[in-house]
Amino acid sequence: MSILLTIAFETKPDKLTAFLELLATVKAELPGTAGCEDIRILQKIDEPTSVSLIETWGSRSNIKRMSRPSWRTVDGIMSCPTSRARR
């Protein structure tokens, strides 16, 4: 059974372009990671600074092996902390 990982971001308006460029890089590179089945980036039409990253993984162990200390560097771009919801 696949695991869906959803991460919601609320960016600062003046940092939105840089953040979307970062996510485009993630979308290009993450599928090469073992266990990553799919990645989608969603942006609200009426709230463009609200962006969600939806990842599909083969197992929880694949997610655990994928450490992302680099996500800490996006804290300065966010208008509030990131949230994670698992399904």
Q: How far apart are CA 2 and CA 23, in angstroms?
A: 22
pLDDT (tens digit, 9 = 90+) per residue, 2-52?
999 998 999 999 999 999 999 999 899 888 888 999 999 999 999 999 999
Please say if the pLDDT value at position 57 is more than 80: yes
Q: How far apart are CA 17 and CA 87, in angstroms?
A: 29
Q: How far apart are CA 34 and CA 78, in angstroms?
A: 28
Full-model pTM: 0.75
Domains of the chain: 3-86 (3.30.70.100)
Please say if the pLDDT value at position 86 is more than 80: no
